[in-house]
Amino acid sequence: MTAASETPASTNAPSMTCNAPDPIRILREEHALQNELCDLLEAIADGLPHHFDRSLALVSVSILETGMPSHMRLEEEALFPLLRRRVAESHPLQSALTCLEDEHDRDGAALVEIAEALRSAIDGGSIANPEMLGYMLRGFFESQRRHIAWEEAVVLPIAEAVLTPDDLSSLQKWVMQSEHPRCCQQSVIALRTARAGAGTVLCSTCVQRHDH
């Protein structure tokens, strides 16, 4: 799968742990960011063909190239396998997860194409075919909004109901060892600074929260 082909982190990276895992909250925060991306893309599309907002495009490209691929990997490599183990084979979620992965494949290909088109317009100052770009943007953000809404309404509530504490720790560990470590109690900068050291890195804010 295009958007989920990278490993979470280098095997040489120190192990990072979190004593107060809250990966479901992290997933919800990422969904909120993706909804903001949809709003940005809609604003760009609304301005075409007469106006291209370069500043909105710059922010959009950043999220398209980093935030979305890492979110897809988190779901496909960590969340979905855990859910498949926790629900019965006959549970409707099993086939639904496969459908979501298929959508990731389509969205992963589309976001690469859109990011390239936006970056070309940013660098060149003009759009060769603004009508086509607008069509691509609308198809993408409309599909994304449906995808996110379904995960928020169905997938995450089931995850909260069936995942065990060990599952949540495993999911949080994947996040902490990814290229974009996330913790609801610490900043990304703090986590990246900590990971620059050696050995096991404890999420100190979570340790303090856990101890209290």
Cβ–Cβ under 8 Å, residues 179 and 165: no
- The Cα 95–Cα 90 span in angstroms is 9
Chain segment 123-141, per-residue pLDDT in tens: 987 788 899 999 999 999 9
What is the structure's pLDDT at 122? 92
What is the structure's pLDDT at 45? 96
What is the structure's pLDDT at 6? 42
For 55-75, b where at least 16 C-beta lie within 10 A, e where not — what string? Answer: ebbeebbebbbeebbbbbbbb
The CATH class that applies to domain 8-211 reads mainly alpha
What is the structure's pLDDT at 11? 43
CA Rg value for the chain: 19
* CA-based nearest residue to 58, from 41, 74, 76: 41
The single-letter code of the amino acid at 100 is L
Report CA torsion sign: 93, 145, 69, 8: negative
The single-letter code of the amino acid at 113 is E
What is the structure's pLDDT at 196? 61
* CA-based nearest residue to 95, from 109, 84, 85: 84
What is the structure's pLDDT at 204? 52
10-residue averages of pLDDT along the chain (212 residues): 43 55 88 96 95 94 92 95 97 96 94 94 85 95 96 97 93 83 62 55 50 40
Question: How close are the terminal C-alpha atoms of the chain, in Å?
Answer: 42
Cβ–Cβ under 8 Å, residues 182 and 33: no
What is the structure's pLDDT at 1? 42
Cβ–Cβ under 8 Å, residues 28 and 184: no
- The Cα 158–Cα 151 span in angstroms is 10
Please list the residues that pair with 186 across neighbouring strands.
183
